[in-house]
Structure formats: structure tokens, C-alpha cells
Amino acid sequence: MNGVIDMRIEEHPILEKIEKGKLVSFELDGKVMSGYEDEPIAVALRAAGVMAHRHTSKYDKPRGIFCAIGRCTDCVMVVDGKPNVRTCVTPLKEGMKVQTQYGVSAKK
Amino acid sequence: MKRYELIVIGAGPAGLSAAIEAAKSGMEVIVFDENSRPGGQLFKQIHKFFGSKEHRAKVRGFKIGEELLEEAKKVKVKVVLSATVMGIFREKEITVMIDGEVNHFKADKIIVATGASENMVTFKGWTLPGVIGAGAAQTMMNLHGLRPGKKVLMLGSGNVGLVVSYQLKQAGCDVVAIIDAAPKIGGYGVHAAKVARLGVPFYLSNTIIEAQGEDCVNGVVIGEVDNKWNIIPGTEKHFDVDTICLAVGLSPMSQLLKAAGCDMEDSPKKGGLVPICDEYGETSIEGIFAAGDVSSIEEASSAMIEGRMAGAAAAKCAGYVEENSFIKRYHELEEALGQLRQGMFGPRSKGKDLKYTDEGIELSTSLLKNGYIDESEITNFPGVTINAKGIHPVIECTQNIPCNPCQDACINHCIKIGCNITSLPIVDENVKCTGCGMCVASCSGQAIFLVNETYEQGYATVTIPYEFLPLPKAGDMGIGLDRSGAEVCEVQVLEVRSAKPMDHTNLLTMKVPVDMAMKARFIKMKGAS
Amino acid sequence: MSKIIDRSIDIGEFIPAPDDDIIICRCEEITKGEIRKAVHDGMYTMTEIKRYLRAGMGLCQGQTCGKLIKGIIAKELGVASKEIDSGTSRSPVRPVEMKVYGNEVENGGDKYE
């Protein structure tokens, strides 16, 4: 899959192999993607080359991962129908339906 | 309502250390942390820490985190994760959000060790996807095995910016530059030197003018600033990047203490709004203590000691430790903390424009402006020996920072620092070096090299610390880089040694032309990009 | 004790600057210019700016923009950043969903023995 090998660190000079769960599939805006179970949704998205997680209400500007620890709320998306889910601290599960958030919903 | 003798808020280095100290004295301790993993920032730190043995020097941050967790488990400290403390109320009652429920707890004593958050700096395009905090880069790389991007610009040359830049290189990312609006590098010279020899350029007195891109970052424009922070026209420079990392300082997350009613002070020196505490860490509210970055931005090593101080003080106030033992323990910790606060980067030297080391040697301005010592300056320093006979260590440690693992590394005791751990290391030329390389591997700043100018006619060997993949093999050809990362000669890899005690710091010995012995300090493998 | 900024001092007219369109509060998309203008409208404190513009009232509850807003107010008033009060800190110090906030449990703490 495009980008998956590039962005993921296969072997790290200090950490060796970083433990990952099993490979699972999930959906992004209807498209089937894959990632590792229990890693943050944002990590799976970034590995697949997805940068914009949402578009803002007022100026319709793209936002993505900024702080990566669940504090800035820029990475929020609609997950399984629920908006404002912080993808950087939410573990990925098999079959999750992730949608790009526009304002506070999935509708453009 | 469940009552605990001690509630610690925050399971980072300060919080865990406080909990362990108090539990060892017999207190019943529970720790709440809002994250799903304990250890605070420790698990993101893959570099070896500084200080002395008792400060856990030479040990990588994440290992220290693992050790703390083990210790906490041994003394039966309860750690509850994904538990967000929402407020501290009257009579030390707290509310904690866990699993979608709000729980109440009561405490006899509370230690707040909630750490710090990253500062922000704004520029045109700073909200574009691709602009991330330095902490975010670390989280992605070191916790999740993900490269934050392919080409990165680092804003900030303090220790965080320098260390994360090195980690980005270790993760296989390209760091196009490190920039800082200040006129000199803010972090340790050795951290800067590690990155400079990889070829990463420093642009000081520079700021970001614009992050470019539509849906995400695809470029950045930087420019030089004058002493009024205005961009000097004509100095604009463009880089192709997909990631911009911000490492512009930390601010204490002290809202809980403020909400609880503790006396606060806005101290720019300490990083922002901090509680006013006594020497043991007790705030103006009796029984509420603060430790670690939340009370003053320093290093993790200091946070751990402050945590132990607060833990000991809480145990004493609760009657578990009697006055004399406490005073003794406090002085031990105070001494350890004092050692860490000495030197060029200590709180007392902050803001001072130092020109000389404690020993009276002129500090390298090249190191402060470019990230590398100029070759002409290198022999001024006592750790640098140029020996005609056989292999010998060359210690390019040129600033007074509290650190001494090199002293214990040599079995023949050829490296001396002394009781003041900020002293520059001295190499005793009368001691025969065996070339074992333990000193090279033990130096957390990767500032020690083994040089042998008499290897063979016309050739010398230089042994460097090497922490990258793929690991070269004996016989491989490469290009020798000097301290600034410039290509200076062809080299051949003679040997690559890896040993468990060296903890992933491999020793790479390369054969260089003899006139390059004091120049070549890194290697670029042939075939590498 | 926080200093109360003297409101009788004339801080001059609002002079537009080229970086006024930079977003400061990322959540509510409030720009630097809007904050600076608000100071000239008489909003001299963090609390007033927050209520006037909603800067700091978005999803992250001011965790990202707080220090930036402080600096902008300070600069506009011609004082050091530390002279500006950070605004009230009160529970909950982290954003909490309403359904969670209202979900208090009795003796829930026993689970964590």
C-alpha cells in the first residue's frame, strides 16, 4: 500500500522493533484502509499518507495532527458516527468507520 | 468516599519518584495520570541521560521510565491510567474522570506533578497539517514507530529541538535545517555537535516567515531577523519540507494548583505560572506539594529528585518519617539536585553571556553559532590529546555541564573529572589506552572518539559512536565527514563493534588519511542518500 | 496579587499590522487582528477577551492559545506578559463531555483498591 512502508519505521537503531498489534482494516470516508490494532487512529492515517483530518467551520481550512497527545483537538474526526473524536489518543479497532470532519459533522 | 494517604497527580518522572519515596516510607499512595501510558515524557526519550550515576546518567530515558515503573510496582504504588483529574477541592477532595465517570477521592496529602505543555509560535500557515510540536514528532517516532514526515525543518535550538532533530535522523527522516530566532544555540553544545556532524545546518537569528501548501505543508520560507525581530529583506530562504517541528519551550501546566487556591507567581525564569513553594515543594496550602516541571521547567533528572523531595516531605508531614531522618534525606537530595543545577546551563547562569569555561578556557563561539567546534579551537580543551604513540581517547567536551559517566568508563582510569561533575574531563596521557571504546559508548553527548595516528604509514584510525541503521560492515567504503558535516576524505570501515553494555551505541572504527585524524568525525556510507 | 491594568490610560488607536490575519485561537479561528482590536474595544483581560471573542472557549478550552493571547494583550497594552492575569482556573481543568460531567458515581473509587 502506498506510503505504508515509507512512513513506518521497520527497525529502529535504539528501539529495535516497536511492538504493534495485529493488522486490521477500517474505513476512511468509505475507502478501505489498514492499520495496526490499538495504535492511535491518527498514526494509521499518517502512515497511509492522510494529512488533513478535518476542515474548520469558519474558514474551511484543513487541520491534522498537531500535538499528538490529545490536547490541541486539531486531529478530531467523526469515528463510528461520533464527531470530535481525538484520533491521536483513540485506539484503532477492526471495522472502525472514520470520516473527515467538516465543522462538527461529516457532511461537507 | 475512598480516602488515600497520598494522591499523586501525574505519573511522569516527578510523580512516580514522589510516589515511590512516599510508599517506601510506608504511605498508601495512588497515582492518577490522564494518559494511557505512564512515564510522562520519559518513554519518548531514547537518548542517554546526563548527570552522574545517581542521576542515572548513561541510561536511556525510556529505560529510566521502565525502572521507575518496576520500583513503583515493588513498593505497591497504585497507578491509574486514563484518569483525568478535573479539580482539587476543599479538604483535599479531588474529582477524577475515569471511563466516562466522575469519581471523588479524598487525600491526606496531594502531590501535583502534572508537568508542562509545549509553547506555541505563530507564523503564516502554522495551522497547516504538517506543522507539529516536537513532542508530537517524538510520540510518533518513539511510541508508534512512525516517521512524522520525510523532510523536516526544526524550529528551536534548545535541548528539545536538538535532541528531537537527532532522533528524526535516527528514524530515517531528513532534517533540512535547525533554525532559531536567538543569535546562539540554546541547548548543550554536544547535542548540537551530534547533529552538525550529520550535515544538518543551523540558521540562527532566523525565523519562519511562512509555511507553504494548500492541504498540507510542502515548503517553508525562513528569513533572518534584526535585533527588533523584523525580517531583513533579501535574506529569505526556501526549503522543500513536508513537516515543520516547533520546539520553542515549555510552560508549566499548573491550572489545578491555581484552581485549588495555591499562591501562584508568574515567573518567566521558571517557564510561566508556577505555585509558590518552600524548599520541600510544599505550596501555600498545607499538605499540597508540587514537583517537577509544574513547579519550574528543568530536566527529567531534576524532576525525579524534586519528586523524591516532595514524597519525603509528604511522608514526614504524615508522621511516617521522623524529623532527623527526613532532614538527612532532604540534604542528600538537595546535594544531588544542586549538582544538576550547576554549570553553564544551570538556573544561575541563565541569561548570562558566558565567555569562558570554569577552567578559564575560551568557550567555542563556533559551537554556539554553527553547532560545531572549529578545528583550531579543539586543542584548547583538556580532553583532547594528540598522541604520537598508539590509540588514545579524544574528548571533545567543551562546556561545563553536570555529567561524568566517562570517568567511570575507563578501567584504567585515564579519564578524570573529579568531585565537581561539571568540570571538563581530562585525559591522563600517562595511562595506556586499551582501545576498548567503553568511554566512547558511555558518553551521553557522543563527544568521545578514539584516535590512532600511528595505525599505518599515512593512515590513522578514528573510532566514532554510531547509532544508525543500516549498520555498516568491516570493509565498507564511505566518506568521512568533519564536525560540520562537510565531506573531507574517503574512508574505509575497519570494524564495527556492538556490545550489550554499550546499549545500542555501536563503535565504528574507520581508516582515514593521517592528516584527517583530527578532522573526520562521522561517516556517510557510499550508496546512502 | 494580579495587577489591575489602569483603564484610563490611552493606548492609542488600533493600527492594522500585516500579520493580523494569523489565526491565534485554532479551535474558534480567531485572528490576531481580532484580538488586538478587542483590546482597543476595551477588553484588557484574558477573561474579557474570552467572553468577547470566544477565544479560548473552543474544543481545547484554551490549552493551545492561552499564552499567545496573553502576549498579544500585553503587547497592545505596552506591558510585560506576566502583568496580565491568566484568567480564572476552575474545575474541570480539562475539557469534559457534559454526559460524563453529569455522571458522578458514588463509591466509584472502590474499584481502584
Each residue of B235-260: pLDDT tens digit? Answer: 999 999 999 999 999 999 999 999 99
- Mind giving me the DSSP string for chain C? -PPPP-TTS--------TTTTSEEETTTTEEHHHHHHHHHTT--SHHHHHHHH-TT-STTTTTTTHHHHHHHHHHHHTS-GGGS------S-SS---HHHHT-B-TTGGGGG-
Same domain, B393 and B505: yes
Same domain, B397 and B497: yes
Same domain, B383 and B521: yes
CA of A18 vs chain C CAs: smallest distance (Å): 30
**Nearest Cβ partner of B86 from C26, C82, C92?**
C92
The pLDDT of residue B369 is above 80: yes
Same domain, B14 and B138: no
- Domain of B36 in residue numbering reads as 2-117+250-340
How many domains is chain B built from?
A: 3
Taken in order of first residue, the domains within chain A and their CATH numbers are 21-102 (3.10.20.440)
The pLDDT of residue C113 is above 80: no
Interface membership of A12 toward B (CB under 8 Å): yes
pLDDT tier at A108, thresholds 50, 70, 90: confident
- pLDDT at position C10 is 85
The closest alpha carbon to A87, from B136, B333, B472, belongs to B136
| Residue ranges of E strands in B185-344 | 202-204, 206-212, 219-224, 237-239, 243-246, 250-252, 264-267, 272-275, 288-290
Same domain, B497 and B406: yes
pLDDT tier at C1, thresholds 50, 70, 90: very low
The pLDDT of residue B387 is above 80: no
| Bridge partners (DSSP) listed for residue A33 | A26
The pLDDT of residue C38 is above 50: yes
Distance in angstroms (rounded) separating the CA atoms of residues B136 and B169: 15
Q: Would you give the DSSP letter of residue B430?
A: T
Same domain, B38 and B141: no
Same domain, B83 and B133: no
Same domain, B382 and B521: yes
Interface membership of A55 toward C (CB under 8 Å): no
- pLDDT at position C7 is 84
Whether B364 is covered by a domain: the verdict is no
- C-beta atoms surrounding B454 within 10 Å: 15
pLDDT mean over B363-390: 90
The pLDDT of residue B395 is above 50: yes
Residues of A in contact with C26 (CB under 8 A): 63, 66, 72, 74
Is the Cβ pair B133, A67 closer than 8 Å?
Answer: yes
- The residue in chain C having the minimum alpha-carbon distance to the alpha carbon of residue B104 is C109
CATH of the domain at B191: 3.50.50.60
Same domain, B517 and B396: yes
Return the higher-pLDDT residue of B526 and B210: B210
Determine phi and psi for B381, rounding to 5 degrees: -95, 140
Residues 6+ apart with CB under 8 A from B5: B27, B28, B29, B107, B108, B109, B318
Interface-testing mutation among C25, C57, C60, with chain A (most A C-beta atoms within 10 A): C60
Question: Among B228, B246, B264, where does a domain finish?
Answer: B246
Interface membership of C31 toward A (CB under 8 Å): no
Question: Among B196, B220, B246, where does a domain finish?
Answer: B246
The closest alpha carbon to B159, from B401, B423, B468, belongs to B401
- C-beta atoms surrounding B369 within 10 Å: 15
The pLDDT of residue B529 is above 90: no
- pLDDT at position B527 is 67
pLDDT mean over C61-68: 94
Long-range contacts of B261-264 (CB under 8 A, 24+ apart): B261/B285, B262/B288, B262/B290
The pLDDT of residue C20 is above 90: yes
Q: Count the alpha carbons within 13 Å of B242 in the hemisphere toward its beta carbon.
A: 15
For residue range B41-83, what is the model confidence (pLDDT) as tens digits?
999 999 999 999 989 999 999 999 999 999 999 999 999 999 9
The pLDDT of residue B133 is above 80: yes
Same domain, B501 and B387: yes
Residues 78-97 of B with CB under 8 A from C: 78, 80, 84-89, 95, 97
pLDDT tier at A1, thresholds 50, 70, 90: very low
The pLDDT of residue C6 is above 90: no
| Rg of the Cα atoms in chain B | 24
Question: Among B246, B261, B286, where does a domain finish?
Answer: B246
Residues of B in contact with C72 (CB under 8 A): none
The pLDDT of residue B508 is above 50: yes
Whether B345 is covered by a domain: the verdict is no
pLDDT mean over B84-91: 96
What is chain B's mean pLDDT, rounded?
95
What is chain C's mean pLDDT, rounded?
90
Interface membership of A5 toward B (CB under 8 Å): no
The closest alpha carbon to B120, from C80, C14, C56, belongs to C56
- The residue in chain B having the minimum alpha-carbon distance to the alpha carbon of residue A48 is B146
For residue range A37-65, what is the model confidence (pLDDT) as tens digits?
999 999 999 999 999 999 999 999 999 99
**Which chains are within 8 Å of A by 3+ CB pairs?**
B, C
Is the Cβ pair B140, A46 closer than 8 Å?
Answer: yes
CA of A60 vs chain C CAs: smallest distance (Å): 10
- pLDDT at position B528 is 60
Distance in angstroms (rounded) separating the CA atoms of residues B128 and A41: 19
Amino acid letter, residue B457: Q
- pLDDT at position A6 is 84
Return the higher-pLDDT residue of A6 and A42: A42
Whether B358 is covered by a domain: the verdict is no
Distance in angstroms (rounded) separating the CA atoms of residues B371 and B196: 6
- pLDDT at position B349 is 87
pLDDT tier at A2, thresholds 50, 70, 90: very low
